[in-house]
Every structure is written in C-alpha cells, then in structure tokens.
Amino acid sequence: MDAILVVNAGSSSVKFQIFGIGEAGALRRVIKGKIDGIGTQPRLAAEAKDGSSLIDVTYASETIPDVPAAIATVAAWLRETQSFDLVAVGHRVVHGGPTYDRPVVIDKAVLANLEQYVSLAPLHQPNNLAPIRTLLNRHPDWLQVGCFDTAFHHGHSAVADHFAIPEHFYAEGVRRYGFHGLSYEYVAQRLREIAPTVAAGRVIVAHLGSGASMCALANGRSVESTMGFTALDGIPMGTRPGQIDAGVLLYLLMEKGMAPTAVQDLLYRESGLKGLSGISNDVRELQSNPDPRARLALDHFAYRVGLNAGMLAAALGGLDAFVFTAGIGENSPVMRARIAEKLTWLGVVPDPAANAEGKSVISRPESRVVLLVVPTDEELMIAQHTLTLLSKPSRARMGSESLAG
C-alpha cells in the first residue's frame, strides 16, 4: 500500500503518523506514534488504527541522543516491521516567513531559506528542520513537503499585518505572521462539514494547548490572529508569556543586564503558566493544586483569552461562534467553563451540562454565539497537502524552485 509519513518534530520528541492512500486518493490513518525523552530516556511507542499497541520500547539515552537519531530509529522500525510503500513525507514547519504562503516540496535551497527563520521560532524551527535535513541526506529521492503554520494567515490585510514601526522593517519581513495555521485550517475545513452555516460566518477559534493562540475566521479565512512576528505574542502559554510590554524587555536588557540569550530563555521556557504559578506549565496539575499561585495562573489565562476574544470580535465586526480546540480546549471542561464566563457579554449562554459531558455544542439554544468543541488534526492536514503535491509533482517542484530564490 502506498503511504505518506507525517512528521512533527519537537525539541525532545518526534511525533509521526502513517496515512495509507486508498482509492481515489482517500487517506486512512494506519499508524500513530511518538518517540519522546530524546537524549534522556528515549521511548518509542506506536499504535495501530484500532488503538492496539505496535511497539513500546525504552532505549538507553546515548542510543538516541538527538532528533536525527530519533528519525533513524523510527525509519528503521517502520522498514523492519511494516510493509508500506512510502511515497512522500510531510513535515510541520512552524515558520515560513514572508515567502512561503502554501505547502512546498523541499529541496536543499528551500531548506537553506527556512533556516533563516530559526531565531524567530527557536523552540520549533531547528527541530522541524532536523528530520528534513536528515532525510535529504539519506534519501534524496524521497518527496518531502513542508507545511507551514504561518501559511494560513497570509491573506491578512496590510493593516492587520503591520507593526507601527518604519516601513522598511516590514519590507525586510518584520510583520505579524500568526501561527497554528495548520490547526486553524483543519478546523475551518471541519466546520464546513459539520456546521456550514457557522463556517460561513464570523468565528473565533481558540487553539489552547501548551502553545496557545486564537484566530478570527470570516467565511473560513483568517483575518486576524493573536500571535505575531514570533510564537511569543498573544495569550499566555505553558512556558511563554503572551503579550508583554516591549519596555519590559528593554528593562531586562539595559537595567538588569541580562544577556539576550537569557532573555530568550526566560520568554520561551520560564514564563507563561510555569512562570506565573512557579509550579507547573501543565493545566491539569494546576487545576488540582490548591496553591493560590496555581489559581492565579489559571485565572490569568482565562482573563487574557477573554480579552483577546474581544479584540478578535472587533476585527470581525461581531461574532457568530467560538470554537475550542487543541489539548486544553478539547479536554478541560473546567477551563472551557472559565473562559465561557468571560464571553457572556458577547451573547454566549453556556450549557454547563453539555460542557461537562464533552459534547461538541456546549452553548444553550438561546445563545446568540454558538460554543463548539472541535478536535483538531494537524497531521491529517499535512497528509492532505502532501498528497496534493504528490499528485502534481511537476507543479510542486516548479513551485519549490521558484520560491527558493
């Protein structure tokens, strides 16, 4: 069976999925796996489409010290135990910069272009590119497709995209990009299937996970996002602060004498829920902890989501629906309830029972704004884009070459 491998690489983990290609290009998820604890206690686990375990093995730390070694381990396991005919690999790449407004076939020139955005997404971009580089070197004949978290937001107006700084910076690429685009693209697609009337209207989607952002959709198109030049802006996250006065950063650099690398580490790894609570970046731990600092962190999170909902509703000129997605949005009735309370002024009437039961519609019938829970599926979105380029190889490669310049 022809199959597509989807790779989502992080700093200490590599998530992967295998999609079989059926008749008429239908995609079928057949394997879902992850290798985490890279460099410390590596563990490879994968399951079949029915949820049964295919492998669950822990390795010595020196066996899998980095992401390339993890990719090699996954590839070896797939080759030795599975009978797929791998025809393409799709990758999540967080930052596509001003050039890449759609998925592209990746060659060495495109890879070199993407490396210039490492400093704009230091938690993600280096790890996204590591498996691409490894596979380009080891399997140069494999079709690799890059799918960008920034691409979905490329239709924003100039007014929305600009910072209020001299124009030459915008020309150099200093602008608001927005992120989590693959998630928002999937949710927009899913809404057209399950709630077409809602999908055609004014919708805020809240991608709430360890990384968190919100997006305003008008008829399924992104018109505004809480994230900007980097994945630091907007609402607070697990370890990132969200919106912060630029003067704070100047103070840390000039008055406190912190090195730029120390400030970067503070912003990406020590802030957000972790920094505010001093306890954890995990909402589940904070919800169960009686410490007032845990409560403060969760209250702050819900408060900022509410504030940003107001901003996005203003960008849309009103609101017809609010969608929760991603880890917190899909799995935490407590946080959904807290956030819904902040939206009542917009006409939201929550349904506590439906929320507690995990239903897809968690607002009451009289609510002017529909509250929905829509599970996201970035990996399926990547597989769909990869299949599209796979079926049009000449066009895909021409696009790659033209964008590489």
Reading the chain (405 residues) residue by residue, the pLDDT tens digits are 889 999 988 767 788 999 999 887 889 999 999 998 888 889 999 999 899 999 999 999 888 888 888 888 988 898 888 888 888 999 999 999 999 999 999 999 999 999 999 988 888 899 899 889 988 988 888 899 999 999 999 999 999 999 999 999 999 999 999 999 999 999 999 999 999 999 999 999 999 999 999 999 999 999 999 999 999 999 999 999 999 999 999 999 999 999 999 999 999 999 999 999 999 999 999 999 999 999 999 999 999 999 999 999 999 999 999 999 999 999 999 999 999 999 999 999 999 999 999 999 999 999 999 999 999 999 999 999 999 998 775 434 323 332 232
pLDDT value at residue 139: 85
As a whole number of angstroms, the distance between CA 305 and CA 284 comes to 18
pLDDT value at residue 405: 28
As a whole number of angstroms, the distance between CA 179 and CA 188 comes to 15
Q: Which residues are catalytic?
A: 149
Q: How many residues does the chain have?
A: 405
Beta bridge partners of 400: none
Number of other residues whose CB lies within 10 A of the CB of residue 350? 19
Kindly compute the dihedral angle of the four CA atoms of residues 264, 269, 274, 276, in this order, to the nearest 10 degrees: 0
Asked whether the beta carbons of 246 and 360 are under 8 A apart, the reply is no
pLDDT value at residue 142: 86
Nearest CA-CA partner of 88 in 129, 145, 132: 145
Q: Which residues of 95-134 are buried (b: 16+ CB within 10 A; e: fewer)?
A: bbbbbbbbbbbbbeebbebbeebeebbbbbbbbbbbbbbb
As a whole number of angstroms, the distance between CA 149 and CA 393 comes to 22
Output the CA–CA distances (angstroms, integers) from residue 51 to 13, 14, 336, in the order listed.
20, 19, 27
Asked whether the beta carbons of 283 and 298 are under 8 A apart, the reply is yes
pLDDT value at residue 397: 38
Beta bridge partners of 361: 372
As a whole number of angstroms, the distance between CA 33 and CA 46 comes to 4
Tokens representing 22 are 């059926």
As a whole number of angstroms, the distance between CA 341 and CA 363 comes to 11
pLDDT value at residue 108: 93
Side by side, which strands form the sheet with 370-373? 221-225, 212-218, 202-208, 321-325, 370-373
pLDDT value at residue 38: 85
pLDDT value at residue 11: 65
